[in-house]
Amino acid sequence: MINNKKNMGLIELFKSKGLLFPTSSEEIIEFENNNNIDSESPENWDNPISIITQGARKLKNLDLLHNPHEEIEDLKMVARNGDNKLSKEIIEKMYKKHNNSDDTK
């Protein structure tokens, strides 16, 4: 008997389950079934035409390079080293982070 089985690529597998950009009909159906699309509130909903009058957009102030985990590690290190020059803002951040962690327990 001829074996017609064909192994699938890992990326194709991710795509087929709607985890990457869904583009085929099946992927879109899968995505729509698994995500609550109606909960979105597009910013130009009340006046879509404003898109045309505004023209193309650019990104201005991305914060993608910010890594909160690195920041926490830095704070931990400062605390271990006994640095008493922490600003009020940083101390508040540490307390906030600490309290948030407690909330999840």
Partner 1 sequence: MQIGKLEEALLSLSYKDEDIEVANSAFNTLYREYSKLLYSVLRKVLNDRGTPSDEIIEATTHNTFLKLYQNPLSFTLPENCNNDNPFKGWLIKVAKNELTDLLKQYFDERIEYPSIISDEVLDDVEVDENISESVNIKLLNDALNTLSERDRSILLYLYQLYEKGKNIPSSDLDILCKMHNTTRTNIRQIKKRCETKIIEYFSKNSQLIPLRYDKQ
The residues that touch partner 1, with contacts defined as CB under 8 A, are 5-15, 17-25, 27-32, 34-38, 40-45, 48-49, 51-52, 54-65, 67, 69
Closest separation between CB of residue 17 and partner 1, Å? 5
Closest separation between CB of residue 19 and partner 1, Å? 6
Q: Report d(CA 36, CA 39) in Å as an integer.
A: 6
Cβ neighbors of 30 (< 8 A, separation 6 or more) are 16, 17, 18, 22
Closest CA to 90 of 104, 78, 81: 78
Closest separation between CB of residue 91 and partner 1, Å? 25
